[in-house]
């Protein structure tokens, strides 16, 4: 096994998610405890939460109308904003943006919950 793994997000197929469209890397690696996502946030992003997953959002691109809703509070975002979202925190991004998301432990589609 090599000491490194390269992910080419341009070659990873986007899949629908509550936020928009996600490209997910490193899910197949048994020796890495997380997944890394590049997600295009759409206007249709839905408020949701995770019972076990922790997410770290890093804003790569966004307009001046970008916000994050976290447990009912609106937090303004800009390029370079980074937010740690713990389990059970209701969240959604508002406005079009592209974000890098680190998910710990590895992303599990069964851990997406809606009120």
Lowest mean pLDDT among 1-10, 22-31, 86-95: 1-10
Does residue 80 lie within any of the structural domains? Answer: yes
Q: Give yes or no for residue 13 having a pLDDT over 80.
A: yes
| pLDDT of amino acid 76 | 98
- Residue 3 belongs to some domain of the structure: no
The overall average pLDDT reported for the chain is 97
Residue 90 lies in a domain: yes
Does residue 1 have a pLDDT over 80? no
CATH of residue 91's domain is 2.60.120.10
Complete DSSP assignment for 61-76: EE-TT-EEEETTEEEE
- 43-72 core/surface letters (b: 16 or more CB in 10 A; e: else): eebeebbbeebebbbebeebeeebbbeeee
Residue 100 domain flag: yes
The number of domains in the chain is 1
In a domain, 114, yes or no: no
């Amino acid at each position: 096994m090599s000491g490194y793994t390269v992910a080419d997000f341009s070659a990873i197929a986007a899949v629908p998610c509550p936020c928009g469209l996600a490209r997910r890397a490193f899910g197949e690696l048994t020796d890495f405890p997380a997944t890394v996502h590049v997600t295009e946030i759409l206007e249709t992003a839905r408020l949701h939460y995770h019972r076990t997953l922790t997410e770290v959002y890093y804003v790569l691109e966004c307009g001046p109308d970008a916000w994050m809703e976290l447990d009912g509070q609106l937090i303004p975002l800009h390029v370079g904003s980074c937010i740690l979202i713990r389990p059970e925190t209701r969240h959604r991004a508002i406005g079009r943006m592209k974000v890098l998301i680190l998910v710990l432990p590895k992303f599990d589609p069964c851990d997406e919950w809606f009120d």
